[in-house]
Amino acid sequence: MVVFDKTGTLTQNKMTAQTLYAGGKEFTSATADMDDVAQRTLIRIGILASDAVHEQGSDRILGDPTEAALVMAGNDVGINETVLRDEY
């Protein structure tokens, strides 16, 4: 299940993944347990399903705001989208 709330999109022009849910647990990218298979899988799938990419030489993410939020959640837990995509 994916649920979206547009909070932050209008005020900051930036969408973020606020609360994630996997394996019966709610978590944030800041509290994600990457040893938890369900949490790790959810974040990796979000990145792999996204076309958003980091702008070279910048912290800016280019692409659809929803997809950028998924890539940013991955970055928050230390997953580089380019490296992950290269694996697959």
Q: Which residues are the active-site residues?
A: 5
**Six token digits for residue 28:** 């944030």
Residue with tokens 């990419």, as numbered in its chain: 53
Contact in structure between 74 and 64 (CB atoms under 8 Å)? no
- The end-to-end CA distance of the chain, in Å, is 23
- Rounded Cα–Cα distance for residues 25 and 75 (Å): 20
